[in-house]
Amino acid sequence: MKKGNTIQNFLQKDFSELRSAGVEQLMYIKEDLIIPHHHSFYDFIVTKARGKSGDLQSVDTVVVFPLKSHAGKVVLRSWYEKNKHIFPASRWEPYDPEKKWDKYTSFC
């Protein structure tokens, strides 16, 4: 990822097999937070942003920092709408940069 690339750029380039759905129909979930398409990964690095159960700073930090972050998920918005009452989607909530997550709440 290049500095300044947004979630939308990431979804368009790295998930081209889902291109028929269109990027607006894809959702990126990281640490049980639904990340809006306009945010960039650089924003999360600079602010050292955290989610409910780990860092939001990287797309794939599971190999490098297994205790600090979980892999992100890409799902179809239609799947989420049908399953938002079922775990794990029932834990997901929209990302709010003002909200601070002081302790981990992982169910793993």
The secondary structure of 49-100 as a DSSP string is -B-SSSB-S-SS-TTT-TTT----EEEEHHHHHHHTTSTTGGG-EE--TT--
Q: Is residue 26 part of a domain?
A: yes
60: containing domain: 7-94
Q: Is the pTM of this model over 0.85?
A: no
Is 62 among the domain residues?
Answer: yes
The number of folded domains in the chain is 1
Residue-wise pLDDT for 30-71, tens only, equals: 888 888 888 888 888 788 887 777 777 655 543 333 445 567
pLDDT at 103: 59
Q: For all residues of the chain together, what is the average pLDDT? A: 76
Is residue 103, in this structure, part of any structural domain at all? no
Q: Give the model confidence (pLDDT) of 6-16 as tens digits.
A: 888 877 777 66
On whether residue 84 sits in a domain, the answer given is: yes
- Has residue 107 been placed in a domain? no
- pLDDT at position 16, please? 65
- Is 100 inside any structural domain? no
